[in-house]
Amino acid sequence: MDGTYILYKFILASAILLISLLVAMYSTLLERKVAAFFQDRLGPNRAGIFGIFQPLADGLKLFFKEEFMPGDADKFLYILGPSLTMMIALLTSAVIPWGNSLVIGGAEYSLQVADVNVGVLYVFAILSIGVYGIMIGGWASNNKYALIGAVRAASQMISYELAMSMTIIAIVMMSGSLSLKDMVEQQHGMNWNVWYQPLGFLIFLVCAFAECNRSPFDLPECETELIGGYHTEYSSMKLGFYLFAEYINMFISSAMIATLFFGGYNFPFMDDLHLSHNVITIIGSLVFFVKIAFFVFFFMWVRWTLPRFRYDQLMRLGWKSLLPLAIVNMIITGLVIMIKHHL
């Protein structure tokens, strides 16, 4: 392995890390602005024009706020919780193909940090660890509301992971690969998976909401019931990590939706433009971010429109509706593939 390769990976990884953080940071502002606009309000506009410094203000304030540790808390776990959540949220971005490759000086540089050949499995593995951060935090706070929040988060995660994986299996069957890069490559042009898997997309979308603990599945925090849920006892930057992780998760989930169902960095008529490979790659990456932005917006749109589920209804929806539907979807996909294969 030569030095250039390490340098390139290092730059790419830092760039993606930075972008994730930046996007998450500004998602917080976007969320507040979007909420305001949905509600006929203006939203933050005092900190800089359009409230552009609002996230900085929030971050700085949280940073300088008093560190607080409840008397009966488990000290180690209490700190571990938010750190784990934050770390895991950032890990997923490694396997997402942010764009095709750039050719510089004859060498090809892929815009994916790691093209793991079991990328999908990696994502799921990481995502399912994510809930530990919440669980540990909720447990360590030694607060009943936090505990209820943590328990809810854990059970919610388990129920929806299953349906989510089932839909992915259908996709995997179609692409015949577990690598995200391959999956994107197969959706070249307008050949997006969403056209073939509308039901799968719907299920995946719902599960993504549940995995991110976003409304209408925001039971673990659920302000009006559990005050703050798992982060009730957290203050200062530890709280900041939790809130931040939520937005990073949202960003990553949107990226996953775009990658799996909306062709990632592919866009229609990309072959008809007759542009150089590098330009196409850059446009592709931008398109990818537009797609992500739309889904981030969609996440917010849903939050400010719908009431939330009740705990048992959430379980019922997960196990009794989404899981059977996902299985049916999988079987149909299998049948269609089989029939096509034999024709």
Partner 1 sequence: MSDKPNIASLSGRKKVVSNKKMTFMEMIYLPAIIGGFGITLSHFFKKKVTLQYPEETKPRSEIYRGMHVLKRDDEGRERCTACGLCAISCPAEAITMIAAERKEEEMNLYREEKYASMYEINMLRCIFCGLCEEACPKEAIFLTDRIVSSDLHRGDFIYGKDLLVEPVDQRIDISHRQTPEVLKFKLDKNQSHNS
Partner 2 sequence: MSQYNRVDPPEGYSAPGFFATTLDKVVGLARKNSIWPLPFATSCCGIEFMATMGANYDLARFGSERLSFSPRQADLLMVMGTIAKKMGPIVNQVYEQMAEPRWVLAVGACASSGGIFDTYSVLQGIDKVVPVDVYVPGCPPRPEQILDGFMKIQELVGNESLRRRYSPEYRELLEKYGIK
Partner 3 sequence: MEHLGKEHILVRPEDYDKNFSTLNLGPTHPATHGIFQNILTMNGETIVDAEQTIGYIHRAFEKLAERRAFYQITTLTDRMNYCSSPINNIGWQMTVEKLLGVQTSKRIDYMRIIIMELSRISDHLICNSVIGVDSGALTGFVYVFQEREKIYEIYEEICGARLTTNLGRIGGFERDFTPLVLNKIREFIANLPKVIKQFENLLLRNRIFMDRTINVGGISAERALNYGFTGPCLRAAGVDYDVRIMNPYSSYNDFDFTIPVGTNGDTYDRFCVRQEEIWQSIKLVKNALENLPEGSYHMDVPEFYLPDKQEVYSKMESLIWHFKIVMGEVEVPVGEVYHSVEGGNGELGFYLVSDGGRTPYRLHFRRPCFVYYQAFPEMVKGSFLSDAILTMSSMNVIAGELDA
Nearer to partner 2, 102 or 243 (CB): 243
What is the secondary structure of 105-153 as a DSSP string? TTEEEES-S---TTHHHHHHHHHHHHHHHHHHHHHHTT-HHHHHHHHHH
For 165, the token pair is 């994986």
Nearer to partner 3, 38 or 109 (CB): 38
User: Assign residue 210 a region: left if phi > 0, alpha if psi is -120 to 50, beta otherwise?
Assistant: alpha
Among 143, 193, 185, 336, residue whose Cα is nearest residue 270: 185
320: contact with partner 3 by CB under 8 A = no
What is the pattern of x (binds partner 2, CB under 8 A) and - over residues 172-211? ----------------------------------------
318: contact with partner 3 by CB under 8 A = no
Chain Cα centroid distance, residue 282: 22
Q: No. of H helices and E strands in the chain?
A: 13, 2
Q: How far apart are CA 206 and CA 210, in angstroms?
A: 6
Nearer to partner 2, 242 or 267 (CB): 242
Q: How far apart are CA 228 and CA 211, in angstroms?
A: 18
How many C-beta atoms surround the C-beta of residue 317 within 10 A?
Answer: 19
In the bound complex, what is the minimum distance in angstroms from residue 306's beta carbon to partner 1?
6
41: contact with partner 3 by CB under 8 A = yes
In the bound complex, what is the minimum distance in angstroms from residue 307's beta carbon to partner 2?
18
Give ∠ CA 196-198-119 in degrees, rounded to 5. 75
Identify the H or E element spanning 104: strand 101-104
Nearer to partner 3, 84 or 226 (CB): 226
236: contact with partner 2 by CB under 8 A = yes
Q: Which does 301 bind (CB under 5 to 8 A by kind): partner 3, partner 2, partner 1, none?
A: partner 1
Q: Which does 215 bind (CB under 5 to 8 A by kind): partner 3, partner 2, partner 1, none?
A: partner 3
In sequence order, what are the beta bridge partners of 110? 101
144: contact with partner 2 by CB under 8 A = no
129-188: contacts with partner 3 (CB under 8 A) = 144-145, 148
In the bound complex, what is the minimum distance in angstroms from residue 34's beta carbon to partner 1?
8
204-223: contacts with partner 3 (CB under 8 A) = 215-216, 218, 222-223
Which of the 8 DSSP states describes residue 306?
A: P
The single residue among 2, 64, 224, 340 that binds partner 3, judged by CB under 8 A, is: 224
The number of C-alpha atoms within 13 Å of 62 and in the hemisphere containing its C-beta is: 17
What is the pattern of x (binds partner 1, CB under 8 A) and - over residues 153-182? ------------------------------
Q: Which does 47 bind (CB under 5 to 8 A by kind): partner 2, partner 3, partner 1, none?
A: partner 2
Which residues lie closer than 8 Å to 131 by C-beta, 6 or more apart? 153, 154, 157
Q: Are 241 and 159 in contact (CB under 8 A)?
A: no
Where along the sequence are the contacts to partner 1 (CB under 8 A)?
34, 37-42, 301-302, 304-306
Q: Which residues bind partner 2 (CB under 8 A)?
A: 32, 35-36, 39-47, 51, 53-54, 56-62, 64-68, 223, 227-228, 231-236, 239
